[in-house]
A and B are shown apart, each in its own frame.
Chain A
Amino acid sequence: MPADDDQRTPTSLTAKREAAVAALAGVPREPGAKKPDPILIADDVKRHFGGLLAVDVDHVEVQRGSITALIGPNGAGKTTFFNLLTGFDRPNSGSWSFNGRSLHGTPPFKVARAGMVRTFQLTKALSKLTVIENMRLGATGQRGETFWRALLPFTWRAQEREITGRAEDLLARFKLDTKRDDFAGSLSGGQRKLLEMARALMVGPELVMLDEPMAGVNPALTQSLLEHVSNLREQGMTVLFVEHDMDMVRDIADWVVVMGQGKILAEGPPDAVMSDHKVIDAYLGAHHDQSLAELEEQLESGTLAEQVAAELGQEPAETVVPERAAETGDGR
């Protein structure tokens, strides 16, 4: 099974991707556009933090079976929007539905059970649980998770074996099988991201929401992460993911939603949105089409400092710029 996955490159147009692109072809490229088969629909969702309106989404739909990227500068409200949709935060107003079922006011665990599972920007690996225990925890409907049955191992052994088998398959697919019995806390940042994603899949979700899955991941791992994300679509799942790196979005997303200052600013296929210079300059900054690696290169050669300084109309400030680069590195 893992061998098959390796052969699939994310850029080749698979049947599922073609279907997703075709389904979105006729969708108008404007904020709040109606989709032919939305799995998630949000209306008028607002969240204030004091005087700050962090999220102010009039209308947004996510097409079933597609990979939708949610992009926007830091502080645009992407994470807060994720938190609202998944019940981790409460909105000041608004409504949204998943598979036609209203999820307003639904606690996070019920959202997950309904089939909408999210990961976190700051990875939440359960450090003192082993990798396989992290995975097993993801399975839903476990008999041994009720108190009385927990005391009677024969009531849950068989199910536990089945869950373990499923977990091991996923671990192999995510190349974490060698880490099976290590503490999750001993994994590298990128491996934790992989584990978190694999664990989310144990829930058996229909919609997977990934908050910056590539942030802080070693470039050698990003390619395989990308493949995993596009494989989710191949397996019939819908993906909504937050990302900064434009190259990645271009590679795998079927549709892009741009957020800025809490609002949906633009929507469309990746190329259309990314060539929209108004969007680019106003909301993504002038460095939108560079990957972090390129930025780092420039940083080292000093050209970035000059460039930034030129934009700001100031002298190059050597000490300030490296710090800012470090900040974007952790994704906040």
Chain B
Amino acid sequence: MDWGNILELSMRELIGVQAIVFALAAIGINVQFGYTGLLNFGQAAFAAVGGYGIAVIVTTYDMSFWLGLVVAIAGAIVLALLLGIPTLRLRADYLAIVTIAASEIVRLVGRSASGREVFGGSDGITGFSNTFYDFNPFTEPVSFGPFEFRERVLWVLAVGWVLVALCTLTVWLLMRSPWGRVLKGIREDEDAVRSLGKNVYAYKMQSLVIGGVMGALAGVVYSLFQGAMQPDVYATNFTFFAYAILILGGAATVFGPVLGAAIVWFAFQFIDLALRGAIQQGYIPDWLMDSNDTGAVRFMLTGVVLVLLLVFRPQGILGDRREIALDAR
């Protein structure tokens, strides 16, 4: 087994596009769930709206890429308002139910045959990313030590990590401000915050909108990377993946979602390649598993790791143990 190669390929995933996409989605969920206590189970819908925003405007309606970006973000804001207005006055579980349903509605409408003219059906939409790559300053592959990146990938990585950095900076600034203090108060007990003269409903709405916009950015980055907008990427497992990443990294921490995303995608690749290598070398007998099973097995192993983490480090990698101890009181 070529451990050097396995490690190198895995290291690429540490900073890869998948890590960026899920970091963005998880940063958004962190604002909503980690800091405000809002259960948005429809982050996939926000990402899909982001992806469709660009794809539909550029490909279907043949309009400008920049307008597509604006529509992607405006679409996420509108979706957040649509979901939030009826539910944010109610108990927390209503938002959870409504968002998970909305997430499937967005996906199913996107892939429906009747909407094929606009949304491209289940095949999705392609051909909207040219403007983005026209701006690519990288003209040839670039190497960093053993790592070589093709110019297109490098451009996505550069833009993606800048977005991740900006979102992280925003969260950092917000959560050390009085505004962030109100959100954390709402997470702990919204009635107490109301009794202190804060408009809880307005704050929850702002939190939902901001987290949703970050979700939309995740969808934008992924669609541009793929050069295609495919609805089935944004099934509910997208959302739960982002949640798992957030909890692994540490909810309500500034860097938790980024760290979680990098580690998960690294681990996925590493486990997958290691298993394949072991099967090839005959270390793992055929009757136990063959190379087609590695995709499923890595999910199982990730699940086991998450369970172990929740048992031994429930606050996540970056979380504060003392906070979890308070819950037990």
List residues of chain A with CB under 8 Å of any chain B CB.
Answer: 86, 88, 107-110, 112-113, 117-120, 124-129, 133, 136-138, 140, 142-147, 149-151, 153, 156, 160, 183, 185-186, 196, 199-200, 202-203
Interface residues of B in 172-225 (CB under 8 A from A): 173-174, 176-182, 184-185, 187-189, 191-200, 206, 210
Q: Does B311 contact A (CB under 8 A)?
A: no
Give Cα distance in the complex from A137 to B194, angstroms. Answer: 11
Interface presence of B91 (CB below 8 A) = no
Given that A127-B188, A145-B198 are known contacts, is A151 also in contact with B173, CB under 8 Å in the complex? yes
Distance between A80 CB and nearest chain B CB, rounded to angstroms: 14
Q: Which residues of A contact B140 (CB under 8 A)?
A: none
B320 → chain A closest CB, angstroms: 9
| Chain B residue with Cβ nearest A126 | B188
Q: Which of A119, A136, A150, A156 has the most CB of B within 10 A?
A: A150
**Are A142 and B326 CB-contacts (below 8 A) given A120-B192, A151-B173?**
no
Given A151-B174, A183-B323: A109 touches B185 (CB 8 Å cut-off): no
Further pairs besides A127-B327, A144-B178: 15, Cβ < 8 Å: A107-B199, A108-B194, A108-B195, A113-B197, A119-B195, A126-B184, A127-B326, A127-B329, A129-B181, A129-B184, A129-B188, A143-B178, A150-B177, A151-B170, A203-B196
Q: Is the CB of A137 within 8 A of B182?
A: yes
In the bound complex, how far is the Cα of B325 from the Cα of A186, in angstroms?
Answer: 9
A145 to B177 alpha-carbon distance, docked (Å): 7
B194 touches A88 (CB 8 A): yes
A109 to chain B: which residues have CB within 8 Å?
A: 194, 196-200
**Do A112 and B197 touch across chains, with their CB atoms under 8 A apart?**
yes
15 contacts between A and B (CB under 8 A): A108-B195, A110-B197, A117-B195, A117-B196, A117-B197, A126-B192, A127-B326, A127-B329, A133-B181, A137-B185, A143-B178, A145-B179, A146-B179, A151-B174, A153-B177
CA distance A83 to B15 in the complex (A): 52
Using known A-B contacts A108-B195, A109-B198, determine if residue A156 contacts B329 with beta carbons closer than 8 Å: no
Q: Is the CB of A112 within 8 A of B195?
A: yes
> Are B189 and A126 neighbours in the complex by a CB distance under 8 Å?
yes
* Chain A residues positioned under 8 Å from B174 (CB to CB): 147, 150-151
Query: What's the minimum C-beta distance from A211 to chain B, rounded to whole angstroms?
Result: 11
The smallest C-beta distance from A185 to any residue of chain B, in angstroms, reads: 4
A136, B181: Cβ atoms under 8 Å?
A: yes
Q: Which of B176, B191, B199 contacts A124 (CB 8 A)?
A: B191
The verdict on A112 contacting B196 (CB below 8 Å), with A145-B178, A156-B178 known, is yes
Chain B nearest Cβ from A26, distance in angstroms: 34
Give Cα A108–Cα B173 distance, bound, in whole angstroms. 29
Contacts across chains A and B counted by CB atoms under 8 Å: 114
Least Cβ distance of B198 to chain A in Å? Answer: 6
The answer to whether A144 touches B179 (Cβ under 8 A) is yes
By the criterion of a CB under 8 Å from any partner CB, how many residues of chain B are at the interface? 32
Contacts of B188 in A (CB 8 A): 126-129
Task: Find chain A residues with CB under 8 A from B197 CB.
Answer: 109-110, 112-113, 117, 140, 203
Closest to A86 in B: B195
CB distance from B8 to the nearest CB of A (A): 39
Whether B196 contacts A150 by the Cβ 8 Å rule is: no
Q: How far is the CA of A225 from the CA of B189 in the complex (A)?
A: 23
In the assembled complex, the Cα of A86 lies from the Cα of B199 at a distance in Å of 14
Q: Is the CB of B184 within 8 A of A200?
A: no
Name A142's closest neighbour in chain B (CB-CB). Answer: B178
Cα of A126 to Cα of B178 in the assembled complex, Å:
15
Are B179 and A150 closer than 8 Å at their CB atoms? yes
Residues in chain B near residue A110, CB distance under 8 A: 197
Closest Cβ–Cβ distance, residue B205 to chain A (whole Å): 11
Listed residue (A142, A147, A156) with the most chain B CB atoms within 10 angstroms of its CB = A147
B195 touches A128 (CB 8 A): no
Q: Is the CB of A124 within 8 A of B178?
A: no
Q: Of residues 139 to 188 in B, which have CB atoms within 8 Å of A's CB atoms?
A: 170, 173-174, 176-182, 184-185, 187-188
Residues of B within 8 A of A133 (CB): 181, 184
Verify B194–A112 contact, CB threshold 8 A.
yes
Contacting A at CB under 8 A, from B250-272, are: none
Q: How far is the CB of B268 from chain A (nearest CB, A)?
A: 32
Name the CB-closest residue of B to A185. Answer: B326
Cβ-defined contact, A151 with B193, below 8 A: no
The residue of chain B having its C-beta at the shortest distance from the C-beta of A205 within the complex is B197
- Cβ of B206: which chain A residues have Cβ within 8 Å of it? 147
* A136-B178 in contact (CB<8A): yes
Name the distance in Å between B290's Cβ and chain A's nearest Cβ: 48
Cβ contact within 8 Å between B195 and A129: no
Q: Is the CB of A183 within 8 A of B326?
A: yes
CB–CB A199/B196 < 8 A? yes
Give B176's nearest chain A residue, CB to CB: A153
Give the complex CA separation of A140 and B181 in angstroms: 13
Contact (Cβ within 8 A) A120 B191: yes
Q: CA separation between A183 and B170, bound complex, in Å? A: 25
Q: Nearest chain-B residue to A148 (Cβ)?
A: B179
A80 to B218, CA, bound (A): 46
Chain A hits for B179, CB < 8 A:
144-147, 149-150
- Mark contacts of B292-329 with chain A using CB atoms, 8 A cut-off: 1 yes-contact digit, 0 otherwise: 00000000000000000000000000000011001101
CA of A321 to CA of B188 in the docked complex: distance in angstroms?
A: 35
The docked-state distance in angstroms from the alpha carbon of A88 to that of B195 is: 9
Q: How far is the CA of A147 from the CA of B170 in the complex (A)?
A: 11
Complex Cα–Cα for A51 and B194 (A):
29
